Amino acid sequence: MSVSTQHPEYAKHYPKWVMMRDALNDEVIKKGTTYLAKTPGMLALDKEGLDPEQNVYNGYKSRAQYPLWVSDSVRTMNGLLTRLKPEVELVHKQLEILKTQATDDGFGLDQLFVRCCVEALGKGRYGLLVDFDDKGQPYISMYDTLSIINWKFADVGGRRDAKLIVLQESHLKADQSKYGHDSEELYRELELVDGHYEVQLLDEGDNEIKSFEPKMGEKRLNFIPFVFGGSLDNSPEIDDIPLYSMAKCAVKYYQLSADYYQSLYLTAHPQPYTIGADNVDLKVTGPMMLWALPQGATCGFMEIQGNGIDKTKAEMDSQKTAAVEAGAKVLDAGSNESGEARKARQNDQHASLHTVVKAAAEAIEQACKYCALWLGLDDSEIRFTVPLEFAQDIDPQILAQLSNLMLAGKVSSDTVWSYLQTGKIPERGFEAELDLIEEDQARMPMGGNTPTE
């Protein structure tokens, strides 16, 4: 086996993660037959070689509509996340830089928190790797779901800990123009060797690009400073994808819309026919074209009745309703739940915005503690918490309705946030609400990054 070998659970969940990535990045239509299969008639044309340019299928695909429910939902939930105010206690002066420059691209812990939540909402998993730059300053690299391809745990010093983690990275190729953008896949191998943390960077052929023994002064780590993050908790086990149900509804809607608009296209364009005009060239039709038929010949139009169109449209509406309900379920903050009710929901693998925020805060806190331990500092007083205290008199039905309206772009995330905080719908004019909705639409979520060099 090579360094590119995937963990069995990674390979099992990979199709779901790819679908979520495509759903979030509006790639579903571009993937062609991956999400929209050809009809039997189109396959027959291919077999006979009668549609070499794929014009029939391309027309079928171009008429379909893919709804941006998933990306819109992440954007509106991102609006709620940016209103949360993390409480940070880093204690030590050496760690203060993390408040403003925690990520490998120079953003603070607040931005890292939002990125973690967005990745957890969209794919249910991410990873945080602690490292130090050339100046001895700590930073945290975030790895998205698809980058964490392999991992192994074993008994380390009497507890279960990571022995091996393999991260897939995209690096710009060295031998190209400074304007080029060609990249290659490399693999960062994090491993405990004889009880000490070591790192190797390998190519797909298992050739070593470089290797090093990370340390601060003479201090080497006896653990891998990597934190798994999830939508329910931060264990290595793969969590539920909060928006997976919505993504499936969006893809099914897209498939149904292809048949729906194809049916409308056919009913709106009846097929002309002639009988008894075999020797007449009638290849061209249209409102400006006159057919001269021989005596005894007849012509007419074949029209499709479209009896199944209404059923297809009804099923499209059903998928839309299911998607909105799935989004509202994720948004549910659980403010009125008892401890037992919340525990039961988590046991039922119901990931929500509440569980995502809680797990992200705990993951970042653990990463900050790893920074302290690496520097030989006490980590017991380090805290990164995100208060989620909402009003106790929230009506679940009103919250669900507001959530549906927000996900549909009819009310702003500020309205939902205000209701969660106060239990009251804010009083504002129609134009003011429209302005806030436009702000939501302009605010794009920050996704997790795959570090490059």
How far CA 397 is from CA of 328, 329, 394, 404, in Å, comes to 11, 12, 9, 11
**224 assigned to some structural domain:** no
More confident residue, 240 or 306: 240
Least confidently predicted of 20-34, 177-191, 415-429, 438-452: 438-452
More confident residue, 340 or 254: 254
The region, left, alpha or beta by phi > 0 then psi within -120 to 50, assigned to residue 126 is beta
More confident residue, 176 or 218: 176
Least confidently predicted of 140-154, 207-221, 359-373: 207-221
pLDDT score recorded for residue 86: 92
Mean pLDDT across the chain: 84
**356 assigned to some structural domain:** no
**86 assigned to some structural domain:** no
Residue 346 has pLDDT above 50, yes or no: no
How many structural domains does the chain have?
A: 1
pLDDT score recorded for residue 114: 93
268-304 per-position pLDDT tens digit = 666 777 887 776 666 666 666 677 778 888 887 776 6
**413 assigned to some structural domain:** yes
Across residues 23-33, what is the average pLDDT?
91
**412 assigned to some structural domain:** yes
Residue 141 has pLDDT above 50, yes or no: yes
**435 assigned to some structural domain:** yes
Stated pTM of the model: 0.80
**406 assigned to some structural domain:** yes
363-378 per-position pLDDT tens digit = 999 999 999 998 889 9
82-137 per-position pLDDT tens digit = 878 899 999 899 999 999 999 988 899 999 999 999 999 999 999 999 999 888 89
Q: What angle do CA 204, 208, 213 make, to 5 degrees?
A: 125
Across residues 130-150, what is the average pLDDT?
92
pLDDT score recorded for residue 212: 87
Across residues 399-407, what is the average pLDDT?
75
**What proportion of the chain, given as a percentage, has pLDDT over 90?**
40
**What proportion of the chain, given as a percentage, has pLDDT over 70?**
85
pLDDT score recorded for residue 217: 66
Residue 257 has pLDDT above 50, yes or no: yes
In terms of residue numbers, what domain contains 405?
392-442
**407 assigned to some structural domain:** yes
